[in-house]
Amino acid sequence: MTTTTAVPTPPARPRDPARRGSRPAASHAPPATRRAQARLGMLMVAPLVAVVAVFLLFPLANAVYYVFVDFNGIDVTPPWVGTANFTELAQDSDVWGAFKNNVIWIVLGTVAPLVIGLGYALLVWTVKRGSVLYRTALFLPYVLPQVAVGVVWSWIYDPTRGWLNRVLDAVGLGSLTRGWLGDPDTALYAVLGTAVWATSGFVFIIVLSALRNVDIELVEASMLDGANPAQRLRYVILPQIMPVFLMVTTITLIGGFSVFDIVFVMTGGGPAGATETLGTYAYSSAFQLNRISYGTTLALIITVMAIPFAVGLNRLQRRLSLEGTGA
């Protein structure tokens, strides 16, 4: 295995004029062929459409309906309440607390993995020996189930038996020890730390593959011109990987809106709401308090907030794959 393994096949198609839009063979095919294609096409796509319609489109339409009624999970014809769910959400201080936590999560949970992942990638970039090993070790945490990650980190943070406090004691910082997940001041950051540990590898692997397209000659030339490492990064490397960097930023950012697994497993939103996010709050409203419509409204609001970023991401990705620089 060489170091170039990470380049996927599909985006490597800068010069294929026919790929945009939906006009492949058919235009100059004879009518009989076109009819055969259409028949087979509809047949082949039917099961896909059926599954998507039943398990995505239908519940999504239902979600929009739930928002305007007050559904408790039992009532077959729930009463119409108009925008009452929205007004209540706007006045719910727990929602605002959760929102604040999400914002912290989105900012720190995006910036930290970006910086760390970029650092890893720059370190591994020109390494020849052991590159596969480094890639595996640094990317692995991202592939693991978040539940397991949460469980293991919970006992690293354990107040009495946890490694973190133990290490702090050993290096003479014993005054800093605490129950990391049980202390409202630190719980959010402790969970966030775990998430950063897990997601940095994702940024790393993407940036690393983008670095493969960076012009080494240019970097060397700037070195001869006396640019220091910071200048090289700022003026030579970063501009070249900027589209990919923006893309990975957006992906991490969007993930921050619907963060769930790791918070749910490590703290369940506690202590005293200190780690409550919009996702865990939507879950508990709907499935623990049976406030189905309320939870759905919250979940839809999360979606609506994330969509502009998703659209931006989509544009970015289209541009990337058109330029052929993608991944």
Partner 1 sequence: MSEHVNRTTPRRRVAIGLRHVALVALCLVMVFPLVLTVSTAFKDSKDVTTNPFGLFSSFSTENLETAWTVGHFGDYLLNSFLLTVPSTALVVVLSTMGGYVFARLPFPGRTMVFYLVILGLLVPFFAYMIPLYYQLRSMQLLDSLVGINLVLASTGLSFGTFFMRAFFSDLPQELEQAARMDGASEWKIFTRIMLPLVSSGIGALTVFTFLQNWNNFLVPLLYMPGGEYQPLTTGLYLFLGGRSVDIGPLAAGALITILPVVVLFVALQRQVTQGFLSGAVKG
Least gap, CB of 227 to partner 1 (angstroms): 16
CA dihedral 298, 303, 305, 307 (to 10 degrees): -170
Residue type, 1: M
Q: Minimum Å distance from CB 25 to partner 1?
A: 6
The CA radius of gyration of the chain, in Å to the nearest whole number, is 25
86 binds partner 1 (CB under 8 A): no
Q: How far is the CB of 136 from partner 1 (least distance, A)?
A: 6
DSSP string, 89-104: HHH-HHHHHHHHHHHH
Q: What is the 3-state secondary structure (H, E, C) of 104-136?
A: HHHHHHHHHHHHHHHHHHHHHHCCCCCHHHHHH
Rule CB under 8 A: which of 112-151 touch partner 1? 120, 123-124, 126-130, 132-149, 151
**Residue from 87, 228, 231, 314 in contact with partner 1 (CB under 8 A):** 314
- Give residue 277's identity as a one-letter amino acid code: T
Looking at residue 235, what DSSP letter applies?
I
- Smallest separation, CB 139 to partner 1 (Å): 7
Q: Give the interface size with partner 1 as a residue count (CB under 8 A).
A: 125
Rounded CA-CA distance 182/184 in Å is 6
The yes or no reply on residue 275 touching partner 1 (CB under 8 A) is no
Contact between 15 and partner 1 by CB under 8 A: the answer reads: no
Least distance (Å) between residue 197 CB and partner 1:
7
Q: Which of 86, 258, 273, 284 binds partner 1 (CB under 8 A)?
A: 258
Q: Is 80 in the site for partner 1 (CB under 8 A)?
A: no
**Which residue has tokens 């052929």?**
324
Which range, of 87-95, 99-107, 160-168, 173-181, touches partner 1 by CB under 8 A?
A: 160-168
* 236 lies in the site for partner 1, by CB under 8 A: no
Which region among 48-56, 89-97, 101-109, 185-193 touches partner 1 (by CB under 8 A)? 48-56
Q: Which residue has the tokens 């607390």?
A: 97
- Which residues are 178's β-sheet partners? none
Taking the least distance from each CB to partner 1, the nearer of 45 and 103 is 45
Interface with partner 1 (CB under 8 A), residue from 80, 96, 155, 235: 155
**Interface with partner 1, residue 233, by CB under 8 A:** no
DSSP labels for 229-242?
HHHIIIIIIHHHHH
Work out which of 6, 107, 173, 242 binds partner 1, going by CB under 8 A: 6
In whole angstroms, how far apart are CA 320 and each of 234, 242, 245, 300, 316?
Answer: 21, 11, 11, 29, 6
**220 is a site residue for partner 1 (CB under 8 A):** yes
Of 217, 208, 194, 296, nearest to 245 (Cα)?
Answer: 208
